[in-house]
Amino acid sequence: MTKFPMTAAGYAALADELKHRIRIERPDLVQRIQQAIADDPNLVENSEYQVALAEQNVNETRIAELEDKLTRAEIVDVSKLSGNTIKFGATVTLTDEDTGEKRMWQIVGEPEADARKGKISVTSPIARALIGKSKGTTVAVETPGGAKAFTIRQVEWSEDKRKRREQV
């Protein structure tokens, strides 16, 4: 079984979603299906039943996916990492060489990646270009929008620092 890295926060978020889907959504969907059957036993033409059944299938698929991800997760405690070289878990501040725009990214596991929240997958083009580099280095990245150059301004290891910076 292939393990993949994940931060403790990412693991907790997936575990919370799994718990919600099992304890809240699953019983709600079962109740909706039972109510739809009680209202109209002709299941072929019962649209409420068909919709609830489809939603139940989506929920059960997501539950199986979450269970698989959590089983295969290798939790990395980011707070115990340090150094000047970028690797999994690092929070990196970059400056876009073309626009001067500063961006902050944390390199995380694929299941927890969310670019809108500043978390990029360790397998993304930007993360792959950054791994092994250090502060002051300029890296070239081939993005879907074309080639970009970034200068590494900061490498940090605590998720708490990232949260404080977001609040500023």
What structural domains does the chain harbor? 4-76 (1.10.287.180), 84-167 (3.10.50.30)
pTM for this one? 0.76
SS3 at position 66: helix
Distance of alpha carbon 166 from alpha carbon 119, whole angstroms: 13
Q: pLDDT 10s per residue in the chain (168 long)?
A: 788 899 988 999 999 999 999 999 999 999 999 999 999 888 888 999 999 999 999 999 999 999 999 999 999 888 778 888 899 999 999 999 989 999 999 999 988 899 899 999 999 999 999 999 999 999 999 877 888 899 999 999 865 444 444 443
